[in-house]
Amino acid sequence: MQRSVKPGPVVIVGAVAALVLTTLWWLTAGPQPSGRSTLVVYCAHDAVYSEEILQQFQQRTGIRVETRFDTEATKSLGLVELIKQERGHPRCDVFWNNELLGTVDLKEQGLLEPYRGLGWTRIPERFRDPDGYWVGFGARLRVWIVNKNALSADDESLQTAMELETSRGAVAMPLFGTTLTHYTVLQHAWGEERLRRWHEEVRRRGLREVKGNAMVKDVVATGQADFGWTDTDDAFVALDDGAPVDMLPIRVEGKTIAIPNTVAIVRGCRHRGEAEQLVDFLASADTELKLAKSRARQIPLGPVEESQLPAEVQRLKGWADDGRDLRDLLTVRQAVIAWLTAEYAP
């Protein structure tokens, strides 16, 4: 006996759901009452900090912004790769990256448009592209994060701990994010052979590799590790939560590693005028101050009213001034990626 198939409650629920989804999409992507279209921003900077800044841009200019954020799950793959894959039919107008070398890679692939506006002008030369394909703002530093119950945050203790108590340390997998940039700087400074030997040695001695910088922060804050490499914004999350941690900048041949946010206009951008306004807004002193006052305590790169900076950011600013110029490291980064891919996913 065959039962007849009748449209039951399941189909009705499905139809309602389809209606809701279409309405939600229409509300965001459909024509706006003001007649102005929506600026599409891909944002790799963490949503908790960047959402507020983009909202302020909307309020100030009346330009509607729709943002696609990166997630830890698809970090690096998410937005840089997405822009590459969308090269035929780009939907992103402005790319706000939370690091530099991915943006430089996009420029090399011809996926960005130049713009030398007010924001570009106020940022120091080593944090911007000479032709205006991208401009840096609000940086973070690579730091040692130390559990104060186990170790004191000074160079000597950390070097000794790294030598003798390697298994009590933690780093993020170097295939991704700022740890990849860190390895790139190390390879440039030490050369390929030395970096590989060092990498093998610390892994042999049990240096703990975790998924990301936030996890490094977590394992040190909870006492699962005594020290680790992370970024200043992650270290501040632990400090704000009252964890017994401290930080110290990582120096490679005397230079710190300051990794700026970068903003760029994507080739094929449909709203060039609005995109330029956003680039200027993000690279402005106002935005840099806001990022400095946020929980991430990002370091202003251009001139700002120093007295308005929180004390801890003033300390970071001193460290960032010793930062290495990262702009010429793209080739080294590609070599590091090739080596690490063979190492982790042969």
Partner 1 sequence: MTLPASLFWSLVRAMALLILFGPLVPMLAAWVRGRPVRWALLAAPFAFPELLVGYAYAPWVAGRGWIAELACALLLGFRTLPVAVVAWALSPPSDVTRSALHCRRLALRTWFDRWDYVRLWMAGPLRRALPSAGLFLLVTFQEFELAALLQATSWTDWLFVAQVQGMTLAESLSAAMSPAAIEFVGIAVVLGLVGTPPSHGLLIDEERPAEPGVSTIAIVFLATAWVLGIAAPMAQLIAGLPAGLWQMAGQPLRWWGLFRELMAGLSASVCAAVIAWGLSGWYFALMNSFTARPPATRRGLRRGTASALVLLCTPGLLGSLILALCVLAVFQHDALAPWYDTPLPWLVGLTLFLAPRAVLLQVWTSASPQSSLHLAELLQRSLDRAQRHAGAQLLWELHGEPRFLAVAMLTYWGYLELTLADLLAPTGVTSGVVRLYNFMHFGRTSALSAEAAVLLLVPLLGMWCLWMLLRWRPMRTPSSGASAR
Q: Is 210 in the site for partner 1 (CB under 8 A)?
A: yes
Q: Is 72 in the site for partner 1 (CB under 8 A)?
A: yes
Count CA atoms closer than 13 A to 195's CA, side-chain side: 20
Taking the C-alpha atoms of residue 343 and residue 346, their distance in angstroms, rounded to an integer, is 6
Taking the C-alpha atoms of residue 190 and residue 99, their distance in angstroms, rounded to an integer, is 22
| Residue from 37, 86, 117, 162 binding partner 1 (CB under 8 A) | 86
- Mark the segment that binds partner 1 (CB under 8 A) among 13-21, 127-135, 150-158, 323-331: 13-21
Q: Is 239 in the site for partner 1 (CB under 8 A)?
A: no
* Shorter beta-carbon distance to partner 1: residue 212 or 302: 212
- Mark the segment that binds partner 1 (CB under 8 A) among 128-136, 214-222, 258-266, 317-325: 214-222
As measured in angstroms, the least distance from the Cβ of 250 to partner 1 is: 19
CB 271 within 8 A of CB 39: yes
Task: Return contacts of 280-284, CB within 8 angstroms, 24+ apart.
Answer: 280/117, 280/118, 280/119, 281/57, 281/60, 281/61, 281/119, 282/53, 282/57, 282/96, 282/119, 282/137, 283/117, 283/118, 283/119, 283/120, 283/122, 283/123, 283/135, 283/136, 283/137, 284/118, 284/119, 284/122
CB 278 within 8 A of CB 263: yes
Taking the C-alpha atoms of residue 89 and residue 84, their distance in angstroms, rounded to an integer, is 10
Sequence-ordered list of residues with C-beta below 8 angstroms from that of 54, at least 6 positions apart, any chain: 41, 43, 65, 67
* Shorter beta-carbon distance to partner 1: residue 88 or 254: 88
Residue 233, token pair as written in the block: 């914004």
Q: Is 21 in the site for partner 1 (CB under 8 A)?
A: yes
Question: What secondary structure letter does DSSP report for 329?
Answer: -
The site map against partner 1 for 291-310 (x = CB under 8 A) is --------------------
Interaction residues for partner 1, span 128-167 (CB under 8 A): none
As measured in angstroms, the least distance from the Cβ of 305 to partner 1 is: 28
CB 249 within 8 A of CB 228: no
Q: Is 198 in the site for partner 1 (CB under 8 A)?
A: no
| Residue from 40, 250, 259, 309 binding partner 1 (CB under 8 A) | 40
Nearest to 147 by CA among 200, 217, 233, 76: 217
As measured in angstroms, the least distance from the Cβ of 222 to partner 1 is: 5
Q: Is 71 in the site for partner 1 (CB under 8 A)?
A: yes
Q: Is 112 in the site for partner 1 (CB under 8 A)?
A: no
CB 97 within 8 A of CB 261: yes
As measured in angstroms, the least distance from the Cβ of 28 to partner 1 is: 3
As measured in angstroms, the least distance from the Cβ of 120 to partner 1 is: 26
Q: What three-state secondary structure class fits 296?
A: coil
Q: Is 215 in the site for partner 1 (CB under 8 A)?
A: yes
* Shorter beta-carbon distance to partner 1: residue 50 or 262: 50
Q: Is 91 in the site for partner 1 (CB under 8 A)?
A: yes
Q: Is 237 in the site for partner 1 (CB under 8 A)?
A: yes
As measured in angstroms, the least distance from the Cβ of 68 to partner 1 is: 5
Site size for partner 1, by CB under 8 A? 68
Specify the DSSP element, H or E, that contains 140.
strand 135-147
CB 298 within 8 A of CB 233: yes
As measured in angstroms, the least distance from the Cβ of 112 to partner 1 is: 19
Sequence-ordered list of residues with C-beta below 8 angstroms from that of 296, at least 6 positions apart, any chain: 46, 49, 140, 232, 233, 236
Residues found near partner 1 in the complex (CB under 8 A): 1-3, 5, 8-11, 13-14, 16-18, 20-22, 24-25, 28-29, 38, 40, 46-48, 66-69, 71-78, 81-82, 85-86, 88-89, 91, 170, 175-176, 208-212, 214-215, 217-219, 222, 224, 237-238, 241, 337, 340-341, 344-346
